[in-house]
Chain A
Amino acid sequence: MDITLQQVSYAYAKNTPFEKRALYDVDLHIPSGSYQAIIGHTGSGKSTVLQHLNALLKPTEGSIKIGDVEVKAEKKSKQLRKVRQKVGIVFQFPEHQLFDETVLKDIMFGPMNFGVSEEEAKRRAIDLVKLLGLPDEVLEKSPFDLSGGQMRRVAIAGVLAMNPEVLVLDEPTAGLDPRGRKEIMDLFYHLHKEKGLTTVLVTHSMEDAARYADRIAIMHDGKCVLAGTPQEIFSDEVRLMDYRLELPQSIKFQKKVEQMMEKKLPVLCLTEEMLAEELAQFLKKEREL
């Protein structure tokens, strides 16, 4: 399902003394099946963009096409529910949305709201708990008795249970410990690859954006200022600095090595693995010369 933002502007609390413009003429195209990262400084409008992707917010100007549904300012649309089922959002600190008596019921909440049968919802919940690496016993526990990391997983399961075609992630690993972060990011990548889930990730980690995304957009002061592949985005360090963003560690290191060798590696190394591989290749060639 393609999502296209056209000249989207948004203002919070419009027509009050507290009015706050958050987006200015944002254009962004997210093709079906892609892994899109959105990066940018805090307050640059990333979360606001995300909330437009499933029509939780409607643009004050401009329009968004989500699949074949168009969302515009004044237009009331009956199809919003359809959109919300197809675009699942994992908000920041999603564990704050847990409420039901048991984990099972909480995960079933989403799908059942969209008319999925009880048996089917239950089946999905059981599968998802497994997929997220939680023990079966948690299904009957209260979500509030779990550890922070487990609650996060249950909340994610609650979104995945709706079987969305597009998965939107707002800093999904904030506050987790390193292992939890890696496990969850790997899981999303797995879902993206295996199920072809279109994935939109908002992150502060340049490393995650470089590692997982195939397209990156940069938000700055409410505008989408740059969009392209990771190779394109990270090749312009000066511009990134204008937006108060950094290079991923592996590229920073690559530059140090290149400076020392006075030679360049053929590509930008987006991950540590890639860096090690390219360096090894390069050293081998040097030796053979």
Chain B
Amino acid sequence: MKREIISLQEVTFTYAEEDKSMRPAVNNVSYTVYEGEWVAIVGHNGSGKSTLARLMNGLLFPQTGKVRVFGEPLDEQSLWDTRSQMGMVFQNPDNQFVGATVQDDVAFALENNGVPFEEMVERVKRSLLKVKMSDFMNSEPHHLSGGQKQRVAIAGAIALQPKILLLDEATSMLDPQGRDEVLSTVQQLRAETDLTVISITHDLEEALLADRVIMMNQGNKYAEGKPEEIFQRGQELVDLGLDLPFAMNVSRLLKKQGVTLVAEHMSEEELVNDLWTSHFNK
């Protein structure tokens, strides 16, 4: 069994506890994330995903239930230590850019953690190289595209060499190119290090990249499993406000047209092969 990195046990959180009409933003949710995994958290807007993110890094504490990080309970004492082990990137590229230039922004977390000057310079350089933003060291944020800003945010997050990278809809405000840049950056980081990635998203492609998907609905954990298991649920997911992979949509439409297929396929290759074997290669 792999080492457990984050675990939530029956966690409930309500924003205004005293207001009885308020339903919990996160209701009795449990899950565990293991070292080196890529976990995607999906769900409609308002389903509690960001609240989960805040609970995982101690911006919020649950009213009931427990959050454990690296096997230790997350509390006031372990908070700052935990945060230095967990890089986080948010949705809005503009609102998390603290530094005046790219390199200042990447250095921000290092400064906060008292990293000595020489090492800072080295780490800033290395982090920017990893996200392919070295040519923009001195650029100011308003001269960068959304995708570039998010890559800088990732560089800032990994500069402390954390174990976990937590992305809260980091791609949702980006154009397709920006999204691809960010996703390939994350993939490459995973290939080079044993970084654990938790990505909150409603982008299908991003969810399909994950090892495991946790699906939220109205504050509850609705389902958990491998992406292909989750998306097999078909219409159920559509009803909950999510997309299905393209190949699956087409499979379903083909079936409606009376074309026989062995299954509703997740990937385009499978679908093409199925069409080939069942209709031509006889």
- List the B side residues contacting A279 at CB < 8 Å: 254, 257, 259, 275
In the complex, residue of chain A having the shortest beta-carbon distance to the beta carbon of B251: A276
A99 to B172, CA, bound (A): 25
Chain A binding surface SS class: helix
- The answer to whether B46 touches A276 (Cβ under 8 A) is no
- The answer to whether A178 touches B246 (Cβ under 8 A) is no
- List the B side residues contacting A147 at CB < 8 Å: 45-46
Known A176-B45, A179-B44, A244-B177; contact A272-B145, beta-carbon cutoff 8 A: no
Known A147-B45, A177-B44, A244-B177; contact A272-B246, beta-carbon cutoff 8 A: yes
Interface: A43 (CB within 8 A): yes
- The answer to whether A177 touches B45 (Cβ under 8 A) is yes
Q: What is the size, in residues, of chain B's interface with A at 8 Å between Cβ atoms?
A: 33
- The answer to whether B241 touches A253 (Cβ under 8 A) is no
CB distance from B247 to the nearest CB of A (A): 8
| Pick from B257, B258, B275: contact of A257, CB under 8 Å | B275
Interface: B250 (CB within 8 A): yes
Interface: A260 (CB within 8 A): yes
- The answer to whether B145 touches A43 (Cβ under 8 A) is yes
Interface: B15 (CB within 8 A): no
Interface: A42 (CB within 8 A): yes
Interface: A31 (CB within 8 A): no
Known A178-B241, A260-B272; contact A280-B145, beta-carbon cutoff 8 A: no
Interface: A65 (CB within 8 A): no
Q: For chain B residues 221-251, which have a beta carbon within 8 Å of chain A?
A: 241-243, 246-247, 249-250
- List the A side residues contacting B45 at CB < 8 Å: 147-149, 176-177, 180
In the complex, residue of chain A having the shortest beta-carbon distance to the beta carbon of B253: A276
- List the A side residues contacting B276 at CB < 8 Å: 260-261
- The answer to whether B254 touches A280 (Cβ under 8 A) is yes
A280 to B44, CA, bound (A): 33
Q: For chain A residues 123-179, which have a beta carbon within 8 Å of chain B?
A: 147-149, 174-179
In the complex, residue of chain B having the shortest beta-carbon distance to the beta carbon of A253: B268
CB distance from B99 to the nearest CB of A (A): 22
A229 to B50, CA, bound (A): 41
A205 to B247, CA, bound (A): 17
A179 to B272, CA, bound (A): 27
21 contacts across the A-B interface (CB closer than 8 A)? A42-B145, A42-B178, A175-B172, A177-B242, A178-B242, A180-B241, A205-B176, A253-B268, A256-B268, A257-B272, A260-B272, A260-B275, A272-B249, A272-B253, A276-B250, A276-B253, A280-B259, A283-B259, A283-B279, A286-B280, A287-B279
Residue ranges of B at the interface with A (Cβ–Cβ < 8 Å): 44-46, 91, 145-146, 172-173, 175-178, 202, 241-243, 246-247, 249-250, 253-254, 256-259, 268, 271-272, 275-276, 279-280
Residue ranges of A at the interface with B (Cβ–Cβ < 8 Å): 41-43, 147-149, 174-180, 204-205, 244, 246, 249-250, 253, 256-257, 260-261, 272-273, 275-277, 279-280, 283, 286-287
